[in-house]
Structure 1
Amino acid sequence: MTSPNGTTNSSGPRKARLSREVVLSAALELVDAEGLEALTMRRLGQELGRDPMSLYRYAANRAALLDGVTERVLNELAIFVDDRDWQAQLRRIGHDLRLLALRHPNVVPLLVTRPLSTPLGLRPLGTLRPLEQILALLIAAGFSPADALHVYRAYYGFLYGHILNELQEYIVDPDENEAVLRLGLHRLPAKEFPHLRALGPVLAEYDGDVELDQGLSILLSGLATQLSGPPQQPLG
């Protein structure tokens, strides 16, 4: 096509300029749509309309690409270190992390297991920032550095356990009216699993948001008690 000034322009669509952000955003979209197994340099190159070799400028290999996707997701998690209400902060972060996991369920295995394969100091900086920021929040609240680390581990252990449990909730027959049948609990021997069968209605009404908040209340109240220290003994 020739423009009015005599220059020739391509009639095809212009490709977006590549950047690390563009590459990682496309990688995350691919994982969200098709799972972690779909993410390869070749497939990502196809999605971006580029030679896969051009992507190595932004990620040295597939492992680096997975790390980048993890960072990209964790960057969506806001932590306000200057907020002195540490309990409210941890409660909000917990709910935000749950929503993040529900938006990107295929990335959850990366968030939970990928850090375990890499020594702490060699992990991408973006994956370490939540740890650093929560440590700062807890230390400012009065926890010793060592206690703050213990709190972080207990807190994230609970959060990831809850998230994995919620994502794995399984309904055998969603159209069945009876909770025991809907969950497939009728397959369990009644004499061996009386409590589990009796809890059918409760299990069927599982609300991840409410369940998370109840768990956080238990955890945070215990941490607050620890921070306040043992009760003072009366003198005399």
Structure 2
Amino acid sequence: MGVNRGTGDPAGAGRRPGRPAVLSRERVLDAALAIVDRDGLAGLTMRRLGAELHVDPMAVYRHVGDKSGLYDGLVERAFAGVELPARTGHWAEDFAAVVRALRAALLRHPDVAALVGTRPPATPAAFAVVEAAVRVLLDGGSSAEDAADAVDCAGRMVVGHVLADGARSPVAGLDGGEKAHESAQQELNPAVFPAWRPSRTQVWNTRPTGCSSSPSPGCCGRCRTAGPGRRAPDRPGRRRRPAPRRGAAPHPAG
């Protein structure tokens, strides 16, 4: 099959003769995200991306610069999918809502979470989420330093939960190890691990009714982080954390 070196489009495929394929940064990122969602980060190469778009791989570089620019674009896409909630005026609830919105967006593209966790924001779309979270905390009375620390802590927590809940193993053919993990816990000697055995039972018995070990993006959010081992804030008998003093670093779980 002949290939037009100008566009890389297989001759006569999907376009009228003489009409070059329109390539844009948006199309490149759409295709890259589809590859990562389907095959993981390891499956994303410039050659593979070019084939997906029916263009010469060199044409891709003109829209994203280099592989780093492509990765930054994927992080941008992940953050752009965050649906920031309307504010209620209660900083703890509003901050928790932003954190849950970020988690929901990343769970739609869990393999991109590894990039989010290792590459700092570099585009306006990514900074928009950070700005929203910091603004809530500043309006609640936190100092700029405490707000920055809290947002950084929450972001790391979310990325960790998303990687644990939704991302695939970095090794092809290797499962998540859940069965081995559970089996190993059952065989622990209570005399050697006296703290963990009863704590493990408590951890899994304090999730809100209906929660699973891998909550969906649309979870109720009663456990704030929607991760295993997080107690529901309205669970009877739970002692609520006292409100932080003005200027103290707030906890995203409120």
TM-score, length basis structure 2: 0.66
Q: Tell me which residue corresponds to 1:139.
A: 138
Unmatched segments (≥5 aa) in structure 1: 1-9, 174-180, 230-236
Q: How far 1:113 sits from its partner (Å)? A: 1.4
Q: Tell me which residue corresponds to 2:186.
A: 186
Tell me: CA distance 1:134–1:186, structure 2 relative to 1, closer, same or farther (3 Å).
Answer: closer
Could you report, residue by residue, the CA deviation over 1:160-213 in whole angstroms, capped at 9, with x for unpaired residues? 34334444874217xxxxxxx954423434432244344358549646455425
1:18 aligns with 2:20: no
- 1:142/1:227 contact within 8 Å kept: yes
Q: How far 1:70 sits from its partner (Å)? A: 0.5
- The percent identity for this pair of structures is 30
Tell me: CA distance 1:215–1:190, structure 2 relative to 1, closer, same or farther (3 Å).
Answer: closer
1:71 aligns with 2:76: yes
Q: How far 1:32 sits from its partner (Å)? A: 0.8
- 1:81/1:136 contact within 8 Å kept: no
User: Counterparts of 1:159 and 1:80 in 2: how far apart (Å)?
Assistant: 17
User: Counterparts of 1:19 and 1:191 in 2: how far apart (Å)?
Assistant: 62
Tell me: CA distance 1:206–1:82, structure 2 relative to 1, closer, same or farther (3 Å).
Answer: closer
Q: Tell me which residue corresponds to 2:171.
A: none
What letter corresponds to residue 225 of structure 1 in structure 2? P
Task: Give secondary structure in 2 for the equivalent of 1:192.
Answer: coil
Out of 162, 172, 184, which is 2:179 matched to? 172
Report which of the two structures shows the higher radius of gyration computed on alpha carbons. 1
User: Counterparts of 2:31 and 2:105 in 1: how far apart (Å)?
Assistant: 17
Q: How far 1:90 sits from its partner (Å)? A: 1.9
Tell me: CA distance 1:124–1:11, structure 2 relative to 1, closer, same or farther (3 Å).
Answer: closer
Could you report, residue by residue, the CA deviation over 1:9-39 in whole angstroms, capped at 9, with x for unpaired residues? x964238622111110110110111111111
Q: How far 1:110 sits from its partner (Å)? A: 0.6
1:33 aligns with 2:38: yes
User: Counterparts of 1:19 and 1:50 in 2: how far apart (Å)?
Assistant: 12
User: Counterparts of 1:171 and 1:187 in 2: how far apart (Å)?
Assistant: 15
Structural mapping, 1:151-166, within 5 Å:
151-166=150-165
TM-score, length basis structure 1: 0.70
User: Counterparts of 1:129 and 1:163 in 2: how far apart (Å)?
Assistant: 20
Unmatched segments (≥5 aa) in structure 2: 1-10, 168-175, 206-211, 235-239, 249-254
> How large is the RMSD of aligned CA atoms in angstroms?
3.5
Tell me: CA distance 1:228–1:125, structure 2 relative to 1, closer, same or farther (3 Å).
Answer: closer
User: Counterparts of 1:133 and 1:36 in 2: how far apart (Å)?
Assistant: 28
Tell me: CA distance 1:144–1:19, structure 2 relative to 1, closer, same or farther (3 Å).
Answer: same
- 2:99/2:158 contact within 8 Å kept: yes
Tell me: CA distance 1:147–1:196, structure 2 relative to 1, closer, same or farther (3 Å).
Answer: closer
Higher helix share: 1
Aligned residue pairs: how many? Answer: 205
Tell me: CA distance 1:126–1:183, structure 2 relative to 1, closer, same or farther (3 Å).
Answer: farther
User: Counterparts of 2:67 and 2:127 in 1: how far apart (Å)?
Assistant: 20
Task: Give secondary structure in 2 for the equivalent of 1:127.
Answer: helix
Q: Tell me which residue corresponds to 2:5.
A: none
Q: Tell me which residue corresponds to 2:237.
A: none
Q: How far 1:48 sits from its partner (Å)? A: 0.8
Task: Give secondary structure in 1 for the equivalent of 2:37.
Answer: helix
User: Counterparts of 2:104 and 2:177 in 1: how far apart (Å)?
Assistant: 19
The answer to which structure, 1 or 2, has the higher relative contact order (CA under 8 A, 6+ apart) is 2
1:90 aligns with 2:95: yes
